[in-house]
Amino acid sequence: MPPTQKMVAVSALTAYLVTHFQPEMTIRGSFILTSLAIFSGAFLGWAVWAVLIYPHMFSPLRDLPSPPNATLFMGHSARISKEPTGIPMRDWANEVPNNGLIRYLHWLNNERVLVTSPKAIAEVLVTKNYEFIKPKLVREGLGRILGVGILLAEGDEHKRQRKALSPAFAFRHVKDLYQTFWDKSNELVERISYDIAHQGADYGHAQNVVEVGEYTSRATLDIIGTAGLGQDFGSIADPNNTLSQHYKAIFQPARGQRYLQMAGIILPGWFMRNIPLKRNYEIMAARKYIRQTCEKLIQDKRAKLKKSRDFDILSVAMESGGFNDEELINQLMTFLVAGHETTSTAMLWAIYLLCKNPSIQTRLREEIHANLPSPRTKAGRKIASHQIDNLPYLNAVLQETLRLWAPVSLTMRVAAQDSTIIDHPIPKGTLIIIAPWATNNSYELWGDSALTFDPERWLKEGQTNKGGADSNYSFLTFLHGPRSCIGMGFAKSEFSCLMAAFMGRFKCEFEKEDYEAEIVGGITSKPKGGLWKKNKPGGANRAAAQKATAEGPTPRVDRGAVKKKKGKKEKAKAKANAKVKANGRTSQSTQLSKDAALAEEVGKIEVADEQGARIEQESKG
């Protein structure tokens, strides 16, 4: 980044001295013209040195391997600006022979170092993690949306924050949240079923088609609110929810965003934030509303904690005594974004990959149906963590999704001091690129099938956690070390529940058979224009899904209404179960009987929803 502010100051001081002590050397006796001339000369000299001479002749990084086709002034930025974030880095890691480091040139030949080997990654993220910090440009840019919470804190401040917040993400606590994840996951599929049934003639898409990203974002926002902050935002039920709409505006890729990012390399952050652009106005409005929401959450939680103790993220942060109100707001802003946008994006890519691989989708659905009761039955409304965790193919599909399409394609660090990576000198100020899309898709680390969606790699003996790779550092979706994602366990458990409910209910197909996603990047990378897909009732859940079209969504909290209807349906259920028992029809691939007492008596007889619904209807007749 050019020292423009320093050059302006030096130019002005030089012009002042010349004007007062050597006035004959000024331009027409003008201080302003003299300052401009000095600044122009200094800037031109700097540009020649920084752009044309230093990177190619004096930089200690010049001996590192680099991708081909760099231009004289713009380096490799032409490709970077045209392709989705992370794709060039993925290709370079696979195509450029390297020892763990690759140098590429950004705009005006600004040097960047891509780390590719497990050893290099381990040094940056673990052994020397506090020597490589988040760049000021990233902290200022993301800080507008995330707040300066644990994600952007550095050094001792980061250590303090992580220690205070860790209890909220403890293994046992996350296990206790599975019921909340499951309730919200099933509220999501009920909402989709209801909306499909009520699509109007002017909808503009084929019947049963929805943009799934809209729903996943609302669901994960509700989950982080309910499970993480103790507040249900009601986003699933209300598509016009104000908080959800503000986040939608933030995450929507802006027109010309890449060019603004490039301009931010040489222009100061305060200037970029105050350019009168629609994007800046949207972010300012969203930030104001989100801060107000966080303030209200803190006030409500403070009153609640006087009566009883909670163990969600906000409660843990407040009871630690380590955060003032401004710091609490920053933490809430961080978790609201990090806790919902990344999981929503991961779910979007999982559904995309399953649409492209119908045989994998079918196998996953069969595992779900064979091991989980239908959520529309009494038995299926309750869930225990082991029921989800003991689904090996579900875990394999989700791990492979997170490997192939990590929600965040790359992250940056900057050398806070002169340092080394795998014994190569790294000057202070060097930008270091850590790209999950490069590491997770490396041929060297994952073999010839690195770019292939293959859940089987996670099912091989001894490879449940590594997927066949030799090193844990081959999988960078959650990073590693002290700066790894503190909410990894929370996110993976939430992701599992969402996908189990979704794929257990729906059979998914693209709206257009030959659809290929065009990727757009922002904080996360996702399909451009959203993911439009057909949703058909899936297998044994077909009758239950069709029944939802008439009844509308049935949120978890309305379960009391179900009990009131129990007496009227009791005879029908007894008749259905009696028929099943008499005929000996027991199958592990069908849904559990609604009558829990009878299920225990006959060894948990499982009955397909479709069959149960048909017999129940006959009994009513």
Q: Note the pLDDT tens digit of each residue in 124-160.
A: 999 999 999 999 888 888 888 888 899 999 999 999 9
| Tokens of residue 406, six digits | 């990590």
pLDDT at site 605: 32
| CB atoms closer than 10 angstroms to residue 556 | 16
Q: Average pLDDT for residues 218-238, to the nearest whole number?
A: 95
Q: If you average pLDDT over every residue of the chain, what do you get? A: 83
Q: DSSP labels for 305-345?
A: HTT----SHHHHHHHHT---HHHHHHHHHHHHHHTTHHHHH
323 pLDDT band, cuts 50/70/90, is: very high
Q: Which of 242, 216, 213, 229 is closest to 180 using CA atoms?
A: 229
pTM, to two decimals: 0.81
Residue 219: which residues within 8 A CB-CB, separation 6 or more? Answer: 184, 185, 187, 188, 235, 236, 344, 498
Question: Phi/psi at 420 (nearest 5 deg)?
Answer: -140, 155
Q: In what order do the strands lie in the sheet with 209-211?
A: 209-211, 532-537, 506-510
Q: Which of helix, strand or coil describes residue 411?
A: strand
279 pLDDT band, cuts 50/70/90, is: confident
Q: Percent of the chain having pLDDT more than 90? A: 59
Residue 509: which residues within 8 A CB-CB, separation 6 or more? Answer: 355, 358, 533, 534, 536
- Kindly state the helix (H) or strand (E) to which residue 115 belongs, with its residue range: strand 111-115
268 pLDDT band, cuts 50/70/90, is: low
Judge whether residue 93 has pLDDT over 80.
yes
Q: Percent of the chain having pLDDT more than 70? A: 79
Return the minimum-mean-pLDDT range out of 14-18, 144-148, 196-200, 236-240: 14-18
Tell me the HSE value of 373 on the side-chain side, using a 13 A CA sphere.
20
531/527 Cα distance (integer angstroms): 6
Tens of pLDDT along 537-576? 875 444 454 444 445 554 444 433 433 444 444 444 444 4
335 pLDDT band, cuts 50/70/90, is: very high
Residue 177: which residues within 8 A CB-CB, separation 6 or more? Answer: 227, 490, 493, 494
pLDDT at site 508: 94
* 355 labeled binding residue: no
Tens of pLDDT along 36-53? 877 778 778 878 888 999
Domains of the chain: 147-408+477-551 (1.10.630.10), 565-620 (no CATH)
Q: Which of helix, strand or coil describes residue 133?
A: strand
| CB atoms closer than 10 angstroms to residue 185 | 28
